[in-house]
Amino acid sequence: MWQRNQTSLADFILEGLFDDSLTHLFLFSLIMVVFLIAVSGNTVTIFLIYADPRLHRPMYFLLSHLSLMDLIYVFTIIPQMATNYLSGKKSISFVGCATQHFVYLSLGGAECLLLAFMSYDRYVAICHPLRYSVLMNRKVGLMMAIMSWLGAAVNSLIHTMILMHFPFCGPRTIHHFFCEFPAIVKLVCGDITIYETTVYISSILLVLLPIFLVSTSYTFILHSVIQMRSAGSLARTTTGNKVFGGLKGVVDRGLSIPHSTKRFPGYDSDSKGFSAEVHRKHIMGQNIADYMHYLMEEDEDAYKKQFSQYIKNNVTPDMEEM
């Protein structure tokens, strides 16, 4: 029994990607440069998000967790590969291989789930901006991050325990530079039908389902953007409506017309305004041209001054945004 346990816990051999040639040395150096860029980029991203209070939003909170996942991901694989290449040692312990498999599988699933949650965040921000603070608050963002980490970790733990429970036949040589699932499965000499079924189901849940959610979210986002562009073509009409609103405001204020009221029936000299009947007919669009013409003739200076002020305060900013 002890000898069997010792055999099951024997080290694995990682073949790696490189040999001692100059070409492979160049490729190794290139990978290390990319590794340093990835580490520095993700580290700076995490630091900036947590250091700047203006970035303490659900979107940036989820982005910081995505950067953290990428950071752990590269640290799980690249240092082991570099150590084996530089030292000439190709072995990795059973526990080390199981740990590497668990971490990389957890991070892969967590990133899929997190990207799905991030697409939902963008969907709410673009399609329902007025409800964003309710649907996507700090608590919701935290729950999304926890669900991503925990859900993927549980799935990875189950797969790793099942995989490492199988007996391995022959030399434990992994034709890869880290303990990836397809490379380890090739060493199993037992029946793995049930395990393959669980892998198939989990792949659907952790890969295809997030892809479907991301695609659906961005389909709605694209539809909303197209509608926004169509609405942008009506901006001039909207501006015209604001001008009409300005004219209505001018009419409602009455411009304090002290002159003759016989030229426009319905003006009440005591209240310095127009009767409800006049408002009902003319504000709703009946004879509005005559109405405006009358106001301009009665007190043209006051009309121009107030109308210009309205254009400056309400219409000009909209035109600048266009």
Q: Hey, what are 233's tokens?
A: 């073509």
Is residue 59 within 8 Å of residue 126, measured between CB atoms? no
Q: For residues 14 and 19, give the distance between their C-alpha atoms in angstroms, rounded to a whole number.
A: 13
> So what's the pLDDT on residue 36?
96
> So what's the pLDDT on residue 157?
92
Structural domain spans, the chain: 2-232, 235-321
* DSSP string over 116-182: HHHHHHHHHHHH-GGGHHHHS-HHHHHHHHHHHHHHHHHHHHHHHHHHHHS-B-S--EESSSS--HH
Q: For residues 306 and 250, give the distance between their C-alpha atoms in angstroms, rounded to a whole number.
A: 7
Q: For residues 39 and 75, give the distance between their C-alpha atoms in angstroms, rounded to a whole number.
A: 8
Q: Is 19 helix (H, G, I), strand (E, B) or coil?
A: coil
Domain 2-232: state its class. Answer: mainly alpha
pLDDT in tens, the chain (322 residues): 334 444 456 788 888 777 777 888 898 899 999 999 999 999 999 999 999 999 999 999 999 999 999 999 999 999 988 888 888 888 888 999 999 999 999 999 999 999 999 999 999 999 988 899 889 989 999 999 999 999 999 989 988 998 888 888 878 888 888 888 888 888 888 778 888 787 878 778 788 889 999 999 999 999 888 887 776 554 444 444 444 444 444 444 444 444 444 444 444 545 444 455 544 444 444 444 454 555 555 555 655 565 566 556 654 554 454 4
